[in-house]
Structure 1
Amino acid sequence: MYWSKIATTEAEFDAIAALNYETFVEEIPQHEPNSARRLIDKFHEENVYLIVYKNTEIVGMVAFRDARPFSLDQKIGDVEKHLDKELCHYLCELRLLAVKKAHRNGRVFTKLATSIYRYSYDKGYSACVISGTVREEKLYTQMGFRQFAPPVGTEEALYLPMVLTREASRGFRERLREQNNIFYPGPVALEKQLEHSTLSHRSEKFQQDLKQMKAQLLNLAQTNVVIPLVGTGTLANDAMLGQLKSEFNEERGLILVNGEFGNRLAKQAKQWGLQIEMMEFGWGQPFELEQIEQKLQLQTYRYMLFVHGETSNSTINPLERLIVLGKRYNIKLCADCISSFGATSFSMANLHYATAVSGKALGTVAGLSFVFCKEAPTNSNAPMYLNLPYYIEKEIPFTLPHNFVMAVNEALNAYPKRFALLQKRIEDVRNSEFASLLVGEAYPMIATIQHLKMAEIIAICGLNGYLLHSASDYLKHRQLAQISTIQPNFEKDFKKISELFHYVKETL
């Protein structure tokens, strides 16, 4: 397997010096031979080396440097004199592009090129300049470089000053974006594009399709009422909390928190002016049912809120045991099921309210959210767009995109088989190269991994087109990343990232 990374270890720097010597002393005579057969670049301390491995052997490299003067400056004068002004905002120089002779094939050069595009774009460089050997002019041109000044060097080692602009690499980057293998817990990559629909939400056909969607959702949720909204899960939670405010106003509620989204739900509840008390159990820690029951014995609460699938740490919280407590103490139980609905089979029959979305475990387009109700709410002081009784009264009070409704209908046809598919996928993660990194319990939507060098692992995966869920601050601060199972090409993509990680582990 060919893969790339940024060099970080002494072993990698030694291999770079050896390849540097092999290429720029023995093959292209630019430097004097030495007995160590190592060539350390004069800008070594300022270079960022992008290297290509074949399994665990370094077979290719290129060096990035953005400190001035460039090596090319010393040959042709300031490169800005030869370039358009708009290209000179943030320049870097590529040097020491080298590949072992036995590996000079399309796969290595493609890996080098794609890594150059990804790294230079992510760094925000306006353009990259390079002294390209004339013998590889065709290769550089295919990569998007163009000559911008007369050749330099000697007859034995003649070079072309060349530049790669962000604009020139746009087409390559777009193809790379399409080739990325994503492991995000939403939005979901769509296997086919949504068809545009101008069908009115007042038409009979729309009414039929909406009725079908609601019936399928209720069958999956095993409850009585569902209200679709155009918006995110946060919007659905606000609608649920607004309804609780109307029903319970100044009466006390309890919210259970063991992760980022529990904290977010608590913040939303406070913004609604709900009289809630928080029970915090620590990041990813299980709810202590005995402690909760002691709390319920000491205080009177009318409702209890919690996140069922706490995505931030891949924890599935104990719905059935909380239902038992709710019945025992006559408390209305309300749940954020945004990341659990569609991931694992459960019943909402005993939930007063619950929320879900289209664009996560259901595996379809983001844009619709749902509030499920045990009984239809009848009174609310919430603003009109969040007013659940108004939705029930008017049935379709606001525009619902028909193509969203049809996408959800199609996704729901995959159930109940999709439950088994997602369960199989999470078992594959538990038994994979990542097994030793797993933290928390994981459930059939997402797994969390942790490593002291997680930032480097994430960067390596990204450089090779494998995008872990990792950009959120709550993950960065804890050296965490996540692998979600909900994307359509998971099996193929996970097999490839597992192979990559097998070799990455040996180089960390």
Structure 2
Amino acid sequence: MYWCKIATTDKEFDEIAKLNYETFVEEIPQHQSNEERRLVDRFHDENTYLVVYKDTEMVGMLAFRDKRPFSLDEKIGKVELKLDKEVCEKLCEIRLLAVKKDYRNGRVFSQLAKAIYTYVYNKEYSAAVISGITKEEKLYRRLGFQQFGEMIGTAEATFLPMILTRENCDVMSEQIRLKQHNFFPGPVEQLQPLEHTGTSHRSTKFFTLYKEMNNQLLHLSSAKYVTPFVGTGTLANDVMLGQIKADFKDSKGLMLANGEFGERLMRQAENWKLSFDSCTYKWGEAFNLLELEQHLCTGEYKWISFVHGETSTGMCNDLEPVLKLTRKYNVNVCVDCISTFGAFPFSMEQLYLATAVSGKAIGALSGLAFVFLNQKPSSNDAPLYVNLEHYFKHTVPFTLPAYLVSNTLSALQLYPTRFDILKSRFDQLLYSSLSQYCIVEKATYPMIVTLKLPKALSNFSEDAKLNGFLLHDESSYLKKHNIVQISVISIGFEKIFERLSEFFNLYQEVIEG
């Protein structure tokens, strides 16, 4: 397997010095020979080295540097004087492109090309400049570089000033069909064309689709009623909290949290000025049922709310033990099921209110939010767009795109088979070497796992991007806790994850070797 990473280990830097010597002393006579047969670049401490491996052997490299002056500045003067202003906003220089002689093949150069385009794009460089050796001019042009100055150098080694713009990165990515595979917990890529894009939400055709979608949602959830909204899970939770405020007025509730989204639900409840007490646990820690019963037995609480599938940790908070206690003390249960609905079978029959979305486990387009309930909502003075009673009275009071309804209906028709597919994918993930880094002892629902990688592997997620694997790591709460996530809901997960696992095993061997 050919793959690449950013060099970080002493062993890698030693291999780089050897390859530098072989290329820029013995092959291209730019530097004096030495007995150690190692060449450490003069900008070594400022370079970011991108290295290519064949399995666990380093076979190629290049260096990025964005501190001025560039080595090319020293040869031709300030490069901006020869370039258009718009490409000079944020420049970097690529140097030391070298590949072992036995590995100068299309796969290595393709890997380098993909990594260059990804790195330049992700670092938001406007362009990269390079001193391209003339005998490899054809290669540089194939990579998307364009000459912008006259030939320079000596008779033994002549070079062309060349540039790769951000725009050319996009063009070349399309030409080589650079594919990035994501492991995000949504949105899910759609392969089928969108239908009913011109269907009015007031038409008979729309209401047929709408009714069928709702019937499928109710069948899957076992709830009595469901109301769709155009929006995200956050909107669905706001609707739920607004209805709690209407139904229970000044009665106090109890809110539980053991992750980012449970804590976010509490912040939303504070914005609604709900009266509640909170039980906050460490991320990934199970709810304390004894503590919960001690709260409920006081008779002080009319409702309880929490997140079913805590996406931030990959932990599922079991409904049944909580329902057993709430039945005993006559407390209404309101649950965020945004990440669990469609991931595995469970019933909302005993829930007072619950929320879900189209763009998570069920695999439809993002854009629809659902509020499930088992009783008709009481009078509500919330703003109309988040007023559940208003939707009950008017069915579809605001524009609801028919293509979202149709797309969600198509996704729902894959059940119950999709449950088995997600479970199989989840097992594949749990049997992989990556699972040893799950932050909860037992990942409990087939949608996502959260990984806390050791310090030695802390760059894995960034290096994975260079190889076309996009782990979920950009959200602020993930960055804050230095964790990454892998979701199983995307199309083609099985083959892509197999490749990711192979990459990870080689990566780990190189780092630890």
TM-score normalised by structure 1 residue count: 0.98
- Structure 1 distance, partners of 2:311, 2:15, is 41
Q: What residue is the counterpart of 1:503 in the other structure? A: 506
- Structure 1 distance, partners of 2:112, 2:304, is 54
- Structure 2 distance, partners of 1:403, 1:316, is 31
- Structure 2 distance, partners of 1:312, 1:177, is 32
Confirm or deny: 8 A CA contact 1:308 1:319 kept in the other structure: yes
SS in structure 2 at match of 1:298: coil
What aligned pairs does 1:399-410 form with structure 2 within 5 A after superposition?
399-410=399-410
Q: Between the two proteins, what is the percent identity of the paired residues? A: 52
How big is the shift at 1:474? 2.0
- Structure 1 distance, partners of 2:424, 2:149, is 57
Pairing 1:277–2:277 present: yes
How big is the shift at 1:317? 0.4
- Structure 1 distance, partners of 2:316, 2:423, is 13
- Structure 1 distance, partners of 2:60, 2:195, is 44
How big is the shift at 1:18? 0.7
Q: What residue is the counterpart of 1:17 in the other structure? A: 17
SS in structure 1 at match of 2:285: coil
The AA in structure 1 aligned to 2:409 is N
Q: What residue is the counterpart of 2:52 in the other structure? A: 52
SS in structure 2 at match of 1:64: strand
Q: What residue is the counterpart of 1:484 in the other structure? A: 487
Pairing 1:467–2:470 present: yes
How big is the shift at 1:226? 0.4
The AA in structure 2 aligned to 1:472 is S
What aligned pairs does 1:314-463 form with structure 2 within 5 A after superposition?
314-440=314-440, 441-442=442-443, 443-453=445-455, 455-463=458-466
Confirm or deny: 8 A CA contact 2:47 2:64 kept in the other structure: yes
- Say how many residue pairs are matched: 508
How big is the shift at 1:71? 1.4
Confirm or deny: 8 A CA contact 2:296 2:326 kept in the other structure: no
How big is the shift at 1:195? 3.4
Q: Identify the range of structure 1 (22-31 vs 168-177) with the bigger mean alpha-carbon deviation.
A: 168-177
Q: What residue is the counterpart of 2:85 in the other structure? A: 85
- Structure 2 distance, partners of 1:404, 1:35, is 68
Q: What residue is the counterpart of 1:34 in the other structure? A: 34
Aligned Cα root-mean-square deviation (Å): 1.4
Confirm or deny: 8 A CA contact 2:334 2:354 kept in the other structure: yes
How big is the shift at 1:477? 2.5
How big is the shift at 1:362? 0.5
SS in structure 1 at match of 2:226: strand
- Structure 2 distance, partners of 1:31, 1:18, is 13
Confirm or deny: 8 A CA contact 2:195 2:407 kept in the other structure: no
The AA in structure 2 aligned to 1:476 is K
- Structure 2 distance, partners of 1:169, 1:311, is 34
Cα deviation digits, residues 170-211 of structure 1 (max 9, x gap):
223456896111000011111223236211111111111111
Q: Identify the range of structure 1 (204-213 vs 175-184) with the bigger mean alpha-carbon deviation.
A: 175-184
- Structure 2 distance, partners of 1:400, 1:39, is 64
Pairing 1:307–2:303 present: no
Pairing 1:106–2:109 present: no
Cα deviation digits, residues 329-369 of structure 1 (max 9, x gap):
11111100000000011000000000000000000100001
Q: What residue is the counterpart of 1:65 in the other structure? A: 65
- Structure 1 distance, partners of 2:196, 2:33, is 66
- Structure 2 distance, partners of 1:378, 1:436, is 48
SS in structure 2 at match of 1:72: helix
- Structure 1 distance, partners of 2:320, 2:174, is 46
- Structure 2 distance, partners of 1:392, 1:298, is 34
Confirm or deny: 8 A CA contact 2:59 2:99 kept in the other structure: yes
The AA in structure 2 aligned to 1:355 is T
Confirm or deny: 8 A CA contact 1:458 1:481 kept in the other structure: yes
The AA in structure 2 aligned to 1:101 is K
Confirm or deny: 8 A CA contact 2:228 2:369 kept in the other structure: yes
How big is the shift at 1:370? 0.4
Confirm or deny: 8 A CA contact 1:452 1:479 kept in the other structure: no
Confirm or deny: 8 A CA contact 2:335 2:353 kept in the other structure: yes
Confirm or deny: 8 A CA contact 2:224 2:373 kept in the other structure: yes
Cα deviation digits, residues 68-112 of structure 1 (max 9, x gap):
222112221222221122222222111110001111011111111
Pairing 1:147–2:147 present: yes
The AA in structure 2 aligned to 1:448 is T
The AA in structure 2 aligned to 1:148 is F
Q: What residue is the counterpart of 1:493 in the other structure? A: 496
The AA in structure 2 aligned to 1:481 is V
What aligned pairs does 1:250-289 form with structure 2 within 5 A after superposition?
250-289=250-289
How big is the shift at 1:154? 2.0
- Structure 1 distance, partners of 2:506, 2:197, is 47
SS in structure 2 at match of 1:501: helix
How big is the shift at 1:435? 2.4
How big is the shift at 1:261? 0.5
- Structure 1 distance, partners of 2:48, 2:176, is 22
SS in structure 2 at match of 1:304: strand
- Structure 1 distance, partners of 2:496, 2:193, is 20
Confirm or deny: 8 A CA contact 2:195 2:406 kept in the other structure: no
How big is the shift at 1:155? 2.6
TM-score normalised by structure 2 residue count: 0.97
The AA in structure 2 aligned to 1:57 is E
- Structure 2 distance, partners of 1:370, 1:20, is 59
SS in structure 1 at match of 2:510: coil
Q: What residue is the counterpart of 2:130 in the other structure? A: 130
Cα deviation digits, residues 268-290 of structure 1 (max 9, x gap):
11111110110112211001111
- Structure 1 distance, partners of 2:173, 2:247, is 52
| Structure 1 runs not aligned, ≥5 long | none
- Structure 2 distance, partners of 1:91, 1:345, is 52
How big is the shift at 1:481? 0.7
- Structure 2 distance, partners of 1:82, 1:399, is 53
SS in structure 2 at match of 1:341: coil
Query: Structure 1 residues 46 and 135 mapped into 2: Cα distance closer, same or farther (>3 Å)?
Result: same
Cα deviation digits, residues 426-447 of structure 1 (max 9, x gap):
1111110212212213220001
Cα deviation digits, residues 476-504 of structure 1 (max 9, x gap):
23221111000011101101100100011
Confirm or deny: 8 A CA contact 2:306 2:336 kept in the other structure: yes
Q: What residue is the counterpart of 1:75 in the other structure? A: 75
